[in-house]
Amino acid sequence: MAKVFCDLKTAHYGAPGHPEAPFRVRRTHERLLAAGLTPELPPVRADAPDVALLHGAGHLASIASGTFADPDTCAQPGMDAIALISLSGALSAADTALAGDPAFSLMRPPGHHAGKDRVAGFCYLNNVALACARLQKKKPALKIAIVDFDVHHGDGTQSLVMGRENTAFVSLHQFPLYPGTGRESRSNCVNVPLPEGTDGDRYLLAFEPALEAVLASKPDLLAVSAGFDAYKEDPIAGLKLDRATFRDIGALLASTRLPRFAVLEGGYSEDLPMLVESFLDGFF
């Protein structure tokens, strides 16, 4: 049975005017309930040892104290606890996928820009990379393919999984755009830069071979960084995907018949709840 994990505590922070806003979780949660999906609290509770699988020794303490310098990434009291709740959703979704059921983590903050000792781009902990590392700690031979379709390059994820055994990574993203990386493929990391204005048809023409590239590693499981900021109405990017494209992306990932989980990354349009529902309609 497909599962959605959500803790509404992650909707209780935010800076005025910041695009990574509480509505992203709160209104999407409402939309999924209306669609017959019932988000659950994550059964796995992330802690410091989970963070230490990939992040540096002082990373969580830095988040707690706010002693970091990134103008896009808010330093607020209790952000370490909120980030751990978000990570809990990813860990729970990963465990669910490994047990055979597709899953989605509806949490914030997102994670794919977070590096070993760096918060960046609204991200504090790299939820997807940590969830994969935790699975592979338990099952070292487990092969995982990470697919990132956020409009921004998953630079933090790439930095954490570059050269990592039994892990393949692909990112499709607008280029040039923040963070300015992802122009070329490297090692086990496949990058697909796309020009501003790319529409759904052209996106899917790029998505299918990109997916095939990481499937060549014969993964046992798919981990998905699900960003919805490539949407045509998103306020901070310039790709032109429509609602149906996200359903198609979900269906292409499901067509692999691999165990799979996805984690919310970006997506800042008021239409985000509708886009997530469409993606899950294909993914589940």
The Cβ-side half-sphere exposure at 15, using a 13 Å CA radius, reads 13
Of 112, 113, 153, 173, which residue is the catalytic one? 113
> Which residues of the chain are modeled with pLDDT < 70?
none
CATH number assigned to the domain covering 3-283: 3.40.800.20
pLDDT of the residue at 116? 98
Q: Where do the domains of the chain lie?
A: 3-283
- Strand arrangement of the beta sheet that strand 221-226 belongs to: 3-5, 103-105, 260-264, 221-226, 144-148, 167-174, 189-194
| pLDDT tens per residue across span 155-205 | 999 999 999 999 999 999 999 999 999 999 999 999 999 999 999 999 999
Q: Evaluate the omega torsion of the peptide bond into residue 22 and state whether it is cis, within 30 degrees of 0.
A: no
Phi/psi at 16 (nearest 5 deg)? -55, 130
* 113 is known as an active-site residue: yes
Residues in the chain: 284
pLDDT of the residue at 71? 83
